[in-house]
A and B are shown apart, each in its own frame.
Chain A
Amino acid sequence: MTTTVLILVVGVIVVLTAVYISWRAGRLDRLHIRLETAQAALDASLLRRAAVCLELAGSRILDPATSLVLAAAAHEARTAGLDEREHAESDLSRTLRAVVDQDRFRERLAEHPTGPELLEELDAAVAKVVYSRRFYNNAVDVTRTAQRRWLARTLRLAGHTEYPRFFEIDDAPPAVLAAE
């Protein structure tokens, strides 16, 4: 009688623990998927920003010096290795501010047939970098907390997934765009 109860109690505890662990593991898995999605979105938004910058640089709307500064920064950002990427993307943000915050930049661009469209695209691309980076870092934060938990560490619930890194860059948009 007591043995049966004991076995039952142990059995219930084992089942509950298993359910709990699998629930934690499932959560961690969902977090990893969310992180990967956020990373892909961040990657896409950075590439899009670089692409719009290169298009603007090659559009012949700007003077050749501005084009060159912008193209060089966009190229650096697009081709930077993993270690240099944060640095190169920050440089592109700074370059963009220097370029776009020129006096009467918006008006000069508006004079060209393709100018307003490009500016609109640039505007969107810059904003999306800010958003996607915020979402990504958010996902990193949550995932890191989950991975750091005692249970996750002891049972290696995260498997061989790497500890995710925050993506820290200067992504402040040009004043002209931010004011919109």
Chain B
Amino acid sequence: MRIGIVCPYTWEVPGGVQAHVRDLAEALIADGHFVSVMAPAGDDAPLEPYVVSAGRAVPVPYNGSVARLAFGFLSAGRVRKWIREGRFDVLHVHEPAVPSLGLLACWVARGPIVGTFHASYERSRAMSVAAPMLQSALEKITARIAVSDAARKTLVEHLGGDAVLIPNGVTVSRYAEAEPLPGWGPDGGVIGFLGRMDEPRKGLPVLLAAFEILAEERPDVRLLIAGPGDAADVLGRLPERLHDRVGLLGMVSEEDKARAYHSVDVFCAPNLGGESFGIVLTEAMSAGAPILASDIPAFRRVLGDGQAGALFATGDPAALAKEAARLLDDPGRRAKLSDEARQAVRKYDWSTVARDVSRVYETVTDATAGVVEDDAS
């Protein structure tokens, strides 16, 4: 099958949607399909052979934070050309309700279109004002997939209609084994974080506040942070005497990411919400890292109600610090959480997920002539 996949966010910047698209594409290619991915990318970003750049994304305020999005005539033109030349049997757009490439692809294409919805929010003013504007493009989507219950609920509430639930996958083998980073744990005192440092919803400020509490009582506790963002801003939130106990890796390669998961005693996901699935969580689970996550519904589900990872009251640094202290003091519990996590993550492996997705493709391509350019747009 010839499959065209559209990713709305900048390809080389780590993120849940980008990782989803990459892993799905690779799992589908491994299954013998032809796959082409279109995504925004920097001019000199290294791209896999199956990726086509749609040009640079533009930073713009959207829905409460600054997002890098690809919109405008130029991007639309590139998507159009890619669709014309790709002659796909099916087009798979990700986050079509986000004003970026996915939405543009729905606009310029006609034929069997599958849409995957990732994000979830309580209430989005941007979405409610935009729903009528999105309608004509979104109505072209023949099959809708939500990656989580929360994403599905968001979809139903904001745009109406329903979707099938196919959760994110994780390439378990990619994270299962890795050499710890030099100078780091696990040594009984390393707490890890991975994600955008400047994205408030990822909850890093909560972890920093908790770390300050912990570090006062425990001289051996250290913090390992991986992800893009402003290092000075992060250090500025901590008293200076703690600075040499914080490691800031910045944006990490896939390989270093796996190594980072293996360098911690407790992996912390302090998200405040908005996370539809927690791909970072399943990666950490694949690596067998003992996990401490905020008690948001998506995390609770992935962690089997606390079986495969400890939970703490969302947004509460004191609760985080207390729970982290308990974990650090109990190697037996950490080992048990690690085993449970490795076990629980198996059902999220990409080989399982890609099979489900290709069944959706088969359902929508029955008796169609493939994807063509929409002259009406």
Q: Show the binding face of A for B, using Cβ within 8 Å.
A: 57-58, 63-69, 71-73, 75-76, 79, 91, 94-95, 98-99, 102-105, 108
- Establish whether residues B72 and A66, one from each chain, have CB atoms under 8 Å apart when the complex forms: yes
Q: Which of B61-69, B84-92, B208-216 contacts A (4 or more CB under 8 A)?
A: B61-69
In the complex, what distance in Å separates the CA atom of A73 from the CA atom of B188? Answer: 47
- B246 on the A face (CB < 8 A): no
How many angstroms between the C-alpha atoms of A72 and B133 in the bound complex?
11
Q: Can you sample 21 A-B contacts with CB below 8 Å?
A: A57-B133, A63-B72, A63-B104, A64-B99, A64-B107, A65-B69, A65-B75, A65-B76, A65-B103, A68-B99, A68-B126, A69-B71, A71-B129, A72-B62, A72-B99, A73-B61, A75-B129, A94-B60, A95-B60, A102-B73, A102-B74
State the main secondary structure of chain B at its contact with A. Answer: helix
0 or 1 for each of B86-116: is its CB under 8 Å from A? (1 = yes): 0000000000000111011011000000000
Bound CA–CA A98/B75 (angstroms): 13
How close is A78's CB to chain B, nearest CB, in angstroms?
A: 9
Q: Which residues of chain B from 185 to 210 have a CB within 8 Å of any chain A CB?
A: none
Smallest beta-carbon distance B129→chain A, Å: 4
Among A69, A73, A79, A102, residue most surrounded by chain B Cβ atoms (within 10 Å): A69
Are A65 and B125 in contact, CB atoms less than 8 angstroms apart? no
Interface contact B73-A64, CB-CB below 8 Å:
no
Q: Mark B45-74, 1 if CB is under 8 A from A, else 0.
A: 000000000000011111100000111111
Q: Cβ of B281 < 8 Å from any Cβ of A?
A: no
Cβ of B134 under 8 Å from chain A:
yes
Smallest CB gap from A109: residue in B? B73
Q: A91 touching B71 by the CB < 8 A rule?
A: no
Are B61 and A95 in contact (CB-based, < 8 A)?
yes
Please name all residues of chain A whose beta carbon is closer than 8 Å to the beta carbon of B61 when the two chains form the complex. Answer: 73, 91, 94-95
Q: How many contacting A-B pairs (Cβ < 8 A)?
A: 90
Instruction: Select which of B58, B59, B134, B136 is within 8 A of A68 by beta carbon.
Output: B134
Which chain A residue shows the least CB distance to B64? A76
CB neighbours of A76 from chain B (8 A):
125-126
With A63-B104, A64-B133, A65-B103 known as contacts, the answer to whether A72 contacts B63 (CB < 8 A) is yes
Contact-residue bracket for chain B: 20 to 34
Q: Do residues A66 and B71 form an inter-chain contact, with CB atoms below 8 A?
A: yes
Tell me if B60 and A75 are in contact (CB < 8 A).
no
A103 touches B130 (CB 8 A): no
Q: How far is the CA of A108 from the CA of B74 in the complex (A)?
A: 11
Task: Select which of B58, B100, B106, B133 is within 8 A of A67 by beta carbon.
Answer: B133
Report yes or no: B130 in contact with A65, Cβ–Cβ below 8 A.
no
Contacts of B137 in A (CB 8 A): 64
When the two chains form the complex, which single residue of B59, B71, B129 contacts A63, counting CB atoms closer than 8 Å?
B71
**Distance from B91 Cβ to chain A, minimum over Cβ atoms (Å):** 16
Tell me whether A72 and B129 are in contact (CB under 8 A).
yes
CB distance from A98 to the nearest CB of B (A): 4
Given contacts A95-B60, A98-B59, contact A68 B130 (CB under 8 A): yes
B69 touches A69 (CB 8 A): yes
List residues of chain B with CB within 8 A of the CB of A72. Answer: 62-63, 99, 125-126, 129-130
Contact of B62 with A63 in the complex, beta carbons under 8 Å? no
In the complex, A79 Cα to B123 Cα: how many Å? 15
Residues on B with beta carbons closer than 8 Å to the beta carbon of A79: 125
Q: Enumerate chain A residues within 8 angstroms of B75, measured Cβ to Cβ.
A: 63, 65
Contact pick for B99, options A65, A102, A103, CB 8 Å: A65
Chain A residues within 8 Å of B125, by CB: 72, 75-76, 79
